[in-house]
Amino acid sequence: MSTPAGAADPAASATTAPISTDPTGAAPATATQRPEPPARMRRRSRHAVARSAAGDRTLVALLGLILLVAGTLAALLSYGVFGTGRAQRPLLDPMIADALRAQPTLARSIAIAAGLLLAALGLLWTVRSLRPERRPDLVLDHGPDTAIVITAPAVADAVAHQAATLPGVARARARLVGDDRTPAMRVTLWLADDADVAEVCRRLDREVLAGARSSLGVDELPVAVRLELEGSGAPRVQ
């Protein structure tokens, strides 16, 4: 399970419950229940976890609904629900068929245009689905003639470099996603075998993500953290 964390901490509670750990290492007595984050923050947290496929799902659902309705109408027509006479007639009205036979050039042109349109729509859908995810550049300050812009790779590299210096972290990778108004971040940490996972997560939030929020001038920055063992092919925590 991917865990969004580090968004002034409403985003962190989007998918995980906070853990209260005694500094001496004793088992936690109780877990403090954090307030439920607003719907807007939950959506941003989901964007931090993975790229949104809502548009593709909507298009597929709409296409499936259209095909289902067309198939249902054809079945009802064949069973005589709209009249036995209509059920015995061809699906394409004879008048339309005669008109198409009378003008074969027009009929072929319509068929070619429809095929090209479907091919273009399919190509656009494929390109949209396969295009790289947007990495927003953030404007820290701007005036009439100038603007201070920090690029997405610069933010990601700074976070990854600081995260890699945490005890127990062998290496780190970060990526800024979303848009310039509602950015989010994905962080992957490769941990040493003896790493204290809870301590790494606490220090990541306090020492790295808090500084990133302050530097970027944002109060909320949803972050999805993926933890893996260094040298292991399977993820330890997602």
Report the range out of 4-18, 53-67, 97-111, 162-176 with the highest average pLDDT: 162-176
pLDDT category at 84 given cuts 50, 70, 90 is confident
pLDDT value of position 211: 87
pLDDT value of position 40: 59
Q: Please tell me the pTM assigned to this model.
A: 0.53
Pairing of strands 147-150, 138-142: antiparallel
d(CA 140, CA 151): 10
Question: Percentage of the chain surpassing pLDDT 90?
Answer: 18
CB 174 within 8 A of CB 186: yes
Residue 91 has pLDDT above 80, yes or no: no
pLDDT tens profile 148-172: 788 888 888 999 999 999 999 999 9
CB 222 within 8 A of CB 11: yes
Residue 220 token pair: 């909320």
pLDDT category at 221 given cuts 50, 70, 90 is confident
For the chain, what is the mean pLDDT? 75
- Rounded mean pLDDT of 51-64? 78
* Higher-confidence position of 120 and 26: 120
d(CA 234, CA 48): 21
Report the range out of 64-68, 89-93, 149-153 with the highest average pLDDT: 64-68
* Higher-confidence position of 234 and 130: 130
pLDDT category at 21 given cuts 50, 70, 90 is very low
pLDDT category at 7 given cuts 50, 70, 90 is very low
pLDDT value of position 148: 79
Q: Among 18-27, 45-54, 79-88, 92-101, where is mean pLDDT lowest?
A: 18-27
Residue 5 has pLDDT above 60, yes or no: no
In order of their start, the domains of the chain are 3-16+38-49+135-237 (3.30.300.30), 54-130 (no CATH)
Long-range Cβ contact pairs of 213-219 (< 8 A, separation 24 or more)? 213/6, 213/8, 215/158, 216/138, 216/140, 216/150, 216/155, 216/183, 217/140, 218/183, 219/8
